[in-house]
Amino acid sequence: MSRVLWKGAISFGLVHIPVELYAAEERNSFDLTMLDRRTMKPVGFKRYNKETGEDVSWDDIVKGYEYEKDRYVVLTDEDFKKANVEATQTIDILSFVKQNEIPPMYFETPYYLSPDKLGYKGYALLREILKQTGKIGIANVVIRTRQYVAALIPVGDVIVMNTLRYANELRAVGDVDVPSGTLKAVGVKEREVEMARRLVEEMNEAWKPETFHDTYHEDLMALIQKRIKTGQTEVVSSPEEEEKQPAKGQIIDLMALLKRSVETKGKGHRLDTKQSHRHRPKRKSA
């Protein structure tokens, strides 16, 4: 089991369930070092005054909030301590809501909640009640020095605590240019709707997360291992010439593409689902 990140309790009403918090995600990342290509030696970064160009020591650095151009409010360590919320070590459930009421973009980071032996009964009761009612718990929790709003969601035998973004952390949808909510207004024909529905039905299958792989990470690691094996560890390769992209505004025959897609599905071909939606290499336009 992974390292315990936090110990506390779930609290709702008078019920108090001792739990431990574990990370539920494991991201693939690369720890890369910046190098001077001429000597292959690590590159350092200097702290300097942007106006005078002089080096600045840590003792002379303070933190400032820019409220106007080139005008700042200085904040000290004491100011940050005063603003910090008190760590209560409890996951305080404030309400219960239907999961489908929360738009996907609010969900941020998942964690597993595990009860200690004294909390087994209360944990199981909360989990099963959430399942039976189709609800999730909305709670406040402090992890380290930051307060989060979180959703408690039953997933199989475990309760997942997924931190949520605050409303002011999301941009207004009005900032995004999207087509009208009606298909007729954007010129979609009934035949195209039917063909698209047929394509969706052809591609319908059970959700199997293990079939998806982070091929971007796998390909980079394979390249790294290959260069280590061949001794090409300090070779700086030249970028390949990019294929020319089609001109913008090109007219697309949506019906023809849908028809071709359905025909391909009908022949028993499957889309390659082994590409991660998060770290997929940029695909060239067809």
The model's pLDDT over 145-195, given as tens digits with 9 standing for 90+, comes to: 788 999 999 999 999 999 999 999 988 877 778 887 788 888 888 888 888
Mean pLDDT, the chain, integer: 82
* pLDDT tens readout for residues 20-70: 999 988 776 677 888 888 888 899 888 999 999 999 998 999 999 898 888
pLDDT at 223: 79
Predicted confidence at residue 245, as pLDDT, reads: 56
Question: Of the ranges 6-15, 57-66, 166-175, 228-237, which is most confident?
Answer: 57-66
Closest residue by Cα to residue 160 from 99, 105, 213: 99
Two structure tokens written together for 264: 């391909």
**Is residue 154 a contact partner of residue 112, using CB atoms and an 8 Å limit?**
no
- The whole-number pLDDT of residue 214 equals 74
Neighbours of 96 (CB within 10 A): 15
Unique residue bearing structure tokens 């980071």: 109
Mean pLDDT computed over 191-215? 84
Q: Which of 27-36, 126-135, 198-207 has the highest mean pLDDT?
A: 126-135
**Tens digits of residue pLDDT in 242-276:** 555 555 555 567 778 777 887 776 665 444 444 44
Beta bridge partners, 111, equal: 23, 161
Task: State how far Cα 147 lies from the chain centre.
Answer: 19
Q: With beta carbons less than 8 A apart as the criterion, state whether 203 and 271 touch.
A: yes
pLDDT score at 239: 65
Instruction: List, in order, residues 6 or more apart from 39 with CB less than 8 Å away.
Output: none
Q: Is the dihedral of CA 109, 107, 114, 155 positive or negative?
A: negative
Q: Residue 261, class by beta-carbon neighbours within 10 Å (0-12 exposed, 13-18 middle, 19+ buried)?
A: middle
